[in-house]
Amino acid sequence: MSEEFKRISRDLVYEGTIIDYYKDTVQVPNGNVVKWDFIGHKGAAAVVPVTKDGKILMVRQYRNALDRYTLEIPAGGLNGADEPTKVAAGRELEEETGFRSENIEFLVSIYTTVAFCNEKIDIYLAKDLIESKQNLDEDEFINVEAYEPKELLEMIYAGKIQDSKTICGIMSFVQKYLK
């Protein structure tokens, strides 16, 4: 079916720090030509950090887009499109939580908003956490909190956790390791 759609052009409207905004011109299967928004993203990585006693480390931080604090798994953008996501996951784990791990394994990949953005997040599991030092960016203000997986599932189902990468990471971990 992809042959029925033909991109005629992709014009950069705005180049941002995290995303680039484009206006695409596309010919659709009935021959009409339409304009679609497209957000280009370099990609990201996230991590579900599990402590020796089975709790999951979460980060509470303010999110400007929602104008509120959220509870999330640690995550961040790639330093470049060619940076391995496993490396980025380990970096974000240490930066945001103050722990590192030499036991990081892949859980799942997600595309966050397929209608208009190509952001892909690879989500990892980190075990055997080693205490290190939190190293936040100058605009990050993060509190680290530990929760039982059951508590996090209850928060997901109650609508208290709505972040897609966090929901996918926790659900993947529970499904794979805590059946």
Going by C-beta distance under 8 Å and a sequence separation of 6 or more, which residues neighbour residue 151? none
Report the C-alpha gap between 78 and 80 in whole angstroms.
Answer: 5
Report the C-alpha gap between 33 and 80 in whole angstroms.
Answer: 33
* Paired tokens of 3: 């042959």
Pairing of strands 143-147, 33-41: unpaired
φ/ψ of 60, rounded to 5, equals -105, 125
Residues annotated as catalytic are 138
**H-state helical runs in 100-163:** 149-157
The residue type at 40: G
